[in-house]
Structure 1
Amino acid sequence: MNAPGLARAAAAVLALEGIALVVIALIETFGLGSGDAANLATALALIVLTVIGAAALIAFAVGTLRGLSWARSGGVVLQVLAVALALAALTLQPAPWLFVVAVGAPGILGFVLLISSARREVEPNEPSPDGE
């Protein structure tokens, strides 16, 4: 797995986002155990969906390290969703700025790194001195 620097950075962002979702799922699980949930079925569904999202982000991180295009594509989709979620949070009053920055900034960074990594991979090689 000798990935270029941009791919490694993009994979790191995806992996950190995946780890953050695992932490959120654990917090929700402990909250469920302490009786904080108003509806058990809804709380369990949210935890399961959070774990699925975390697994997807971690799989995309591994795939990005390996240079797989499906992993970059999936990562780009999730980064766009993260930015959309952050922008949608701005409609709340008062605006949850910590949430907006914590979700939006990694989303933008991950998006830029994934697109840059993909563009770098498909750039044609420099022409050789003998014109071939």
Structure 2
Amino acid sequence: MRPSGPTIAAAIVLALEGIALGIVSIIELLALGGGGTSSTIGGIALIVLTLIAAVALGAFSWGTLRRASWARSGGVVFQVLGVALGLASLSLEPRVWLFTLGVGGPALIGLVLLISATRRDGASDPRLRSGDEPGQRG
């Protein structure tokens, strides 16, 4: 079965977030090479963690296109964290609206799309229709 529109849009948002984190890791690597970090070990750990998150978002994007529930649930976790990070940035002075909107906005859009994709995929899944209990099949 072909993925629905919200599923495709959610996968695109997840992929773009993964690409953005990949770019952030390159920037972190350049800062590490240029001596812009206070701790080399801490800088390397941050780069590795950022790359792990980027790869995870790519996997969630791919899995979302394949209608895998593990991918949608993992994507929802990342989106909730993004919304929380965007909201938390509002407590800092001075407020950096570009960061707040750049992190929280796509996360909120991704969250809405993932929930919509989950609802649509659940409605089209024959295993989840009422009256189709495993013991009732002939």
- Distance (whole Å) between structure 2 residues aligned to residue 64 and residue 17 of structure 1: 14
1:32: which partner in 2? 32
Shift of 1:2: 2.9
CA displacement 1:55-77 (0-9 Å, x = unmatched): 10000000000000000000000
Pair 1:124–1:24, CA change in 2 (3 A)? closer
Shift of 1:16: 0.1
1:65: which partner in 2? 65
Q: Given the alignment of the two structures, is residue 97 of structure 1 paired with residue 97 of structure 2, yes or no?
A: yes
- Distance (whole Å) between structure 2 residues aligned to residue 72 and residue 99 of structure 1: 25
1:98-117 alignment runs, 5 A limit = 98-117=98-117
Q: Percent identity, aligned pairs only?
A: 55
Pair 1:124–1:2, CA change in 2 (3 A)? closer
Number of equivalenced pairs: 125
- Distance (whole Å) between structure 2 residues aligned to residue 124 and residue 5 of structure 1: 13
Shift of 1:124: 5.7
Q: Given the alignment of the two structures, is residue 81 of structure 1 paired with residue 117 of structure 2, yes or no?
A: no
- Distance (whole Å) between structure 1 residues aligned to residue 31 and residue 91 of structure 2: 27
- Distance (whole Å) between structure 2 residues aligned to residue 56 and residue 33 of structure 1: 25
- Distance (whole Å) between structure 1 residues aligned to residue 65 and residue 32 of structure 2: 35
2:44: which partner in 1? 44
2:56: which partner in 1? 56
Q: What RMSD, in angstroms, separates the aligned Cα atoms of the two structures?
A: 1.3
Structure 1 length-normalised TM: 0.91
Counterpart amino acid of residue 81 in structure 2: L
Pair 1:38–1:107, CA change in 2 (3 A)? same
SS of the counterpart of 1:90?
helix
- Distance (whole Å) between structure 2 residues aligned to residue 35 and residue 60 of structure 1: 34
2:18: which partner in 1? 18
- Distance (whole Å) between structure 1 residues aligned to residue 48 and residue 122 of structure 2: 37
- 8 Å Cα contact 2:4/2:120 also seen in 1: no
